[in-house]
Amino acid sequence: MDKLVIERSGPLCGTVSVHGAKNAVLPIMAACLLSDEPSVITNVPPVTDVFTMMEILRGLGVGAALAQDRLTITPDAYTGVVAPYELVSRMRASVCVLGPLLAKRGRAKVSMPGGCVIGARPIDLHLKGLQALGASVEIKHGYIIASTSGLRGARVQLGGSFGSSVLATGNVMMAASLAEGETLIEQAACEPEVVDLANFLLTMGARIEGCGSRVIRIRGVARLRGARHRIIPDRIEAGTLMIAVAMAGGDVTIDGARAEHLGAVIDKLTEAGASIEKLNGALRVQSDGALKAVEVTTLPFPGFPTDLQAQMMALMAVSRGVSLLTEKIYPERFMHISELNRMGAQITREGASAVVKGVESLRGAPVVAPDLRASAALILAGLVAENHTELDGVDHMERGYAGLEEVLARLGAKITRVKQG
Ligand code: EPZ
């Protein structure tokens, strides 16, 4: 697998565009299973998770073709209902084919999603929601086997001990779209990606109200048509770039970044010392790189996103003072602490929190990315570290970022990819 070599960089200057949101396109690709007609999705990011979801759809007998950022899905009365272990184990989001397959085909056999380095990834809320709609579900030989003679609308509570579930809300909303009668989802997730999925379903002819709030009402319909849809910008890619500029210093305009998706991030980066200007359809970030300690707690939207926690920790590592970072969504999501400490950071974990004592400067080192968002955090740390940093585990980065190193290099970052084998 390739490596990235990162040198101290900055100031970063220029304009970049954000790709479409990975976490919006994946459930929307699954939603195409709810219709026999083709759908066309644009602004699709060319990331590994999208290619994996395409493989899952093809395995079900569905056509999936990506040309630049335009994805054409042709269900054509597919017959498959199995999402196999070798694909689901690569990507937990595969679980979101469960609801559409049940609703459209009455059956689904989906491998249990493996755990991952960010912690346990239970699916109890997904199963609770689908069972409430009348599905019978059993777990056998590592597979979720679900069936129904016809889903019926119901009142569903989707709050878990870590807040609402994004993909469980998506699964239940998709299944309820073809169920008999009305479904009320309470304690629904409000993430922009859930709203984007609802907008896609509405274009397909679904009847949904309240998306973006904690209570979503779905009135089932007999059939859904194919649709055309443009994916929302990726707020996590935008937030990652904002944190990069805050740390390395500079003046960068991020086209596509939406202030309404990044309120908590704008608030915390401003508090740390960056200045963020809302432009028409873009955000402009300016910083002199001299930052001060902040306290951050990750929460469901509109709180600070857990998917920017690792990147924020890298910023705290070089901010003046002692920062506190508390992870309320995935309390085990701290694999990046040891790698950042190898670079001279002074971070100690206290349960679901990390105490980060800012240092004058980090030192470049060979580091290994344990997961997708930690890979971005280590790149950002490399941008402000002495000497050079060698990052292994680039495949993690490629799951959710389309050419992050090229985007940063265009802004003046000294970052190169070293081909391996
Ligand atoms: C989505 O995952 C995102 N992935 C994650 O992004 C993101 O971190 C997460 O939402 C939270 O915002 C995609 O959209 C593909 P959850 P999801 O169900 O839906 C617990 C990235 O880096 N929970 O909202 O799987 C769960 O353990 C990825 O792009 C249950 O207890 O997350 C967690 O503590 C990482 N039971 C909390 O809820 C369940 O049945 C939120 O998880 C489901 C979840």
| Strand 366-368 to 388-392 pairing | parallel
Look up tokens 């955090």; give the residue: 377
d(CA 327, CA 351): 9
Q: Are residues 261 and 211 in the same domain?
A: no
Pocket mutation for ligand 1, best pick of 131, 167, 262 (most atoms within 8 Å of C-beta): 167
CA 364–ligand 1 middle distance (angstroms) = 32
Residue 10 sits in a domain whose CATH number is 3.65.10.10
Q: Which of 206, 162, 207 is nearest to 187 (CA)?
A: 162
Instruction: Identify the domain boundary among 225, 243, 273.
Output: 225
DSSP bridge pairs for 163:
160, 161
Question: Which of ligand 1's atoms lies nearest the C-alpha of 301?
Answer: 12
User: Would you write out the chain's pLDDT as a tens digit for each of its 421 residues?
Assistant: 899 999 999 899 999 999 999 999 999 999 999 999 999 999 999 999 999 999 999 999 999 999 999 999 999 889 999 999 999 988 989 999 999 999 999 999 999 986 567 887 889 999 999 999 999 999 999 999 999 999 999 999 999 999 999 999 999 999 999 999 999 999 999 999 999 999 999 999 999 999 999 999 999 999 999 999 999 999 999 999 999 999 999 999 999 999 999 999 999 999 999 999 999 999 999 999 999 999 999 999 999 999 999 999 999 999 999 999 999 999 999 999 999 999 999 999 999 999 999 999 999 999 999 999 999 999 999 999 999 999 999 999 999 999 999 999 999 999 999 998 7
Please check whether residues 145 and 270 belong to one and the same domain.
no
Catalytic-labelled residue, pool 96, 116, 190, 211:
116
Q: How far is CA 117 from CA 90, 139, 332, in A?
A: 12, 23, 8
d(CA 14, CA 391): 25
Q: Whose CA is closest to atom 16 on ligand 1?
A: 165
- What's the CA gap between 295 and 327, in Å, rounded? 11
Domain count, the chain: 2
Same domain as 241, residue 202 = no
Residues 297 and 394 both lie in one domain: yes
Q: For residue 166, how far is its CA from the centre of ligand 1 (angstroms)? A: 6
Length of the chain: 421
* CB 269 within 8 Å of CB 276: yes
Flag whether the pTM goes above 0.85: yes
Q: What residue ranges line ligand 1, CB within 6 angstroms? A: 23, 26, 92-93, 120-126, 160, 162, 165-168, 189, 193, 306-307, 329-330, 372-373, 400
Has 96 been annotated as catalytic? no
d(CA 367, ligand 1 centre) in Å: 26
- Cα(119) to centroid(ligand 1), Å: 10
How much is the pLDDT for 244? 98
Name the closest-CA residue to atom 27, ligand 1.
Answer: 121
- Residues 73-121 pLDDT 10s: 999 889 999 999 999 988 989 999 999 999 999 999 999 986 567 887 8
Is there a single domain that holds both residue 62 and residue 161? yes
Q: Which domain holds residue 238?
A: 3-18+233-418
Q: Which of 175, 196, 225 is the last residue of a domain?
A: 225
Q: How far is the CA of 418 from the centre of ligand 1 (A)?
A: 32
Do residue 286 and residue 144 come from a single domain?
Answer: no
Q: What is the reported pLDDT for 366?
A: 97
- Choose one of 201, 225, 249: the last residue of a domain: 225
